[in-house]
């Protein structure tokens, strides 16, 4: 059980832009409250980055009042009752209270309401259903305050019912437990999530991807992956059992979700391709996973100990980020063996103390010397690059000039 900080709620209400917004939207028979994550995080002393509000006012009333106060209303989700109101360049999402009319596991048909209790009971977890009114009163209709103090994540009401309303709540249950709870997951929630797992298949790949990436950077992500593995979710999500040791090592080095996904789920470039399709990754995310898989393969197939010179060549050929990530992932594994100077070399590139070597010749350099344009130029550069790699990837104008002269001389001799 942890102590909750109610004083932080007063500090939240005193934020100038937020106070102006609430003053503009309240009154005249309408009430607007701060809801959800802002209240939850303030109570446990975590940063409040975004503030969402719920209101009895219809969306068009919110827009009218915002404009009258000199704010900028943006109808970001007005069909669902959400208006983003910009106050002093700070955005706030203001959503009209809602009640579910129909749910199908992916989205809900809702109607607007005026009952804060009913709106709270349609949310997912008790700790996300807290609201704060302008008078400083904390409203708790579902027992969320006690659960937050106890470090516990529970579904509101019947867990299976909440899940069937939106199957993404299975992954959200694991993510919120990993971020806000201590100890094992709530038994009812865990059992319901396991029984309803087939519902994940009807979700869009983009929604699953987004939720998984968030889960991978939560406070207890490693512990939660053990739970997911024990209950059969890991293979469903990533298509394999996962590399948990590599995930833990990379997690101590990087809080980037794509880095952590790479360490967990990628052993080869082909697996990166499979993940692209399974999770509908962006092109940039896919390329990062492929680069990591390629660098990992290079490191794992080394028959000689990896020294600073080898690191220089790897970085020049594969790029710093994937080589650095792969090197952290395989730390402590039988292969590769790193010489004492290898990791300091990586650190020098990472810190910028040592510039990343760049191949000093371009096609234009050869064309300017009279070499005709065409595929032949690429072949010449490939041979020259092989020489450059063999010589340790030197840099500097003097070396570049010397390499060009040698290339030209070899062409003249043909």
Task: Taking residues 344-356, report their average pLDDT.
Answer: 96
* pLDDT of amino acid 103: 59
Task: Taking residues 15-38, report their average pLDDT.
Answer: 97
* pLDDT of amino acid 4: 87
Is 253 found in the same domain as 139? no
* DSSP letter assigned to residue 201: G
Residue 196 forms part of a structural domain: no
Is 379 found in the same domain as 312? no
* Cα dihedral 131, 135, 137, 139 sign: negative
* pLDDT of amino acid 45: 92
Is 112 found in the same domain as 23? yes
Cis amide bond preceding 84, omega within 30: no
* pLDDT of amino acid 119: 94
CATH of the domain at 121: 3.30.460.10
Is 14 found in the same domain as 142? yes
Is 22 found in the same domain as 145? yes
| pLDDT surpassing 80 at residue 74 | yes
Task: Taking residues 334-352, report their average pLDDT.
Answer: 96
Residue 192 forms part of a structural domain: no
Longest dimension (CA), the chain: 92
* pLDDT of amino acid 205: 96
Is 13 found in the same domain as 140? yes
Containing domain of residue 403, as a range?
A: 363-412
Residue 226 forms part of a structural domain: no
Residue 299 forms part of a structural domain: yes
Is 253 found in the same domain as 336? yes
Task: Taking residues 181-190, report their average pLDDT.
Answer: 96
Domain count, the chain: 3
| pLDDT surpassing 50 at residue 160 | yes
Q: Is there a contact between 236 and 226 (Cβ–Cβ < 8 Å)?
A: no
Is 29 found in the same domain as 81? yes
| pLDDT surpassing 60 at residue 222 | yes
C-alpha to C-alpha distance for 267 and 329, rounded to whole angstroms: 11
- How confident is the model over 376-388, as pLDDT tens digits? 999 999 999 999 9
The vertex-305 CA angle with 301 and 308, nearest 5°, equals 110
Is 349 found in the same domain as 260? yes
End position of a domain, from candidates 151, 176, 210: 151
pLDDT-derived band at 77 (thresholds 50, 70, 90) equals confident
* pLDDT of amino acid 109: 63
* pLDDT of amino acid 385: 95
Task: Taking residues 333-348, report their average pLDDT.
Answer: 96
Higher pLDDT pick, 3 / 156: 156
Task: Taking residues 146-155, report their average pLDDT.
Answer: 96
| pLDDT surpassing 90 at residue 104 | no
Q: In what order do the strands lie in the sheet with 52-55?
A: 72-77, 82-87, 90-96, 52-55, 32-35, 131-132, 138-139
Residue 373 forms part of a structural domain: yes
* pLDDT of amino acid 414: 45
Task: Taking residues 317-331, report their average pLDDT.
Answer: 97
* pLDDT of amino acid 111: 78
Angle of helix 320-329 relative to helix 308-318, nearest 10 degrees, comes to: 130
Helices (H), 131-282: 144-150, 159-165, 169-180, 187-195, 205-215, 221-230, 234-238, 244-251, 257-265, 269-279
Task: Taking residues 314-330, report their average pLDDT.
Answer: 97
* pLDDT of amino acid 1: 45
- Mean pLDDT over the full length of the chain: 94
Task: Taking residues 53-66, report their average pLDDT.
Answer: 96
Is 118 found in the same domain as 26? yes
Task: Taking residues 285-303, report their average pLDDT.
Answer: 96
Residue 228 forms part of a structural domain: no
- How confident is the model over 398-414, as pLDDT tens digits? 999 999 999 999 887 44
In the chain, what percentage of residues exceed pLDDT 90? 89
End position of a domain, from candidates 106, 129, 151: 151
Is 20 found in the same domain as 117? yes
End position of a domain, from candidates 98, 129, 151: 151
Is 335 found in the same domain as 271? yes
| pLDDT surpassing 70 at residue 335 | yes
| pLDDT surpassing 70 at residue 170 | yes
Residue 307 forms part of a structural domain: yes
* pLDDT of amino acid 215: 98
Residue 297 forms part of a structural domain: yes
| pLDDT surpassing 70 at residue 107 | no
C-alpha to C-alpha distance for 393 and 405, rounded to whole angstroms: 17
């Amino acid at each position: 059980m942890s102590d909750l900080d109610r004083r932080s709620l007063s500090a939240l209400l005193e934020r100038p832009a937020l106070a102006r917004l609430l003053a503009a939207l309240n009154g005249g028979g309408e009430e607007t409250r701060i809801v959800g994550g802002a209240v939850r995080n303030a109570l446990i002393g975590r940063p409040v980055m975004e503030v969402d509000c719920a209101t009895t006012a219809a969306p068009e009333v919110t827009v009218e009042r915002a404009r009258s106060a000199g704010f900028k209303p943006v109808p970001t989700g007005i069909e669902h009752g959400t208006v983003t109101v910009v106050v002093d360049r700070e955005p706030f999402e203001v959503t009209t209270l809602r009640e579910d009319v129909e749910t199908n596991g992916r989205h809900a048909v809702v109607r607007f309401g005026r009952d804060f209790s009913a709106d709270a009971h349609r949310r997912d977890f008790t700790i996300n259903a807290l609201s704060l009114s302008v008078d400083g009163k904390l409203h708790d209709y579902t027992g969320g305050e006690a659960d937050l103090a106890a470090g516990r994540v529970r579904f509101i009401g019947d867990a299976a019912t909440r899940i069937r309303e939106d199957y993404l709540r299975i992954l959200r249950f694991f993510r919120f437990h990993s971020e806000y709870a201590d100890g094992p997951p709530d038994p009812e929630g865990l059992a319901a999530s396991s029984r309803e797992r087939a519902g994940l298949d009807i979700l869009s790949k983009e929604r699953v991807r987004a939720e998984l990436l968030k889960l991978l950077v939560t406070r207890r992500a490693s512990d939660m992956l053990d739970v997911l593995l024990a209950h059969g979710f890991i293979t469903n999500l990533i298509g394999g059992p996962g590399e948990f040791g590599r995930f833990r090592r990379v997690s101590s080095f990087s809080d980037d979700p794509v880095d952590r996904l790479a360490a967990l789920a990628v052993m080869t470039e082909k697996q990166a391709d499979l993940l692209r399709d399974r999770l509908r990754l962006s092109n940039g995310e896919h390329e990062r996973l492929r680069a990591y898989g390629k660098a990992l393969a290079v490191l794992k197939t080394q028959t000689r100990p990896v020294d600073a010179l080898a690191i220089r060549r790897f970085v020049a050929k594969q790029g710093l980020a994937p080589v650095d990530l792969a090197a952290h992932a395989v730390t402590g594994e039988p292969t590769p063996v790193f010489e004492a100077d290898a990791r300091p070399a990586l650190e020098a590139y990472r810190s910028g103390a040592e510039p990343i070597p760049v191949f000093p010749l371009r096609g234009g350099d050869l064309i300017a010397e009279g070499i005709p344009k065409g595929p032949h130029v690429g072949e010449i550069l490939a041979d020259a690059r092989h020489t450059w790699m063999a010589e340790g990837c030197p840099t500097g104008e003097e070396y570049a000039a010397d390499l060009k002269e040698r290339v030209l001389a070899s062409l003249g001799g043909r």
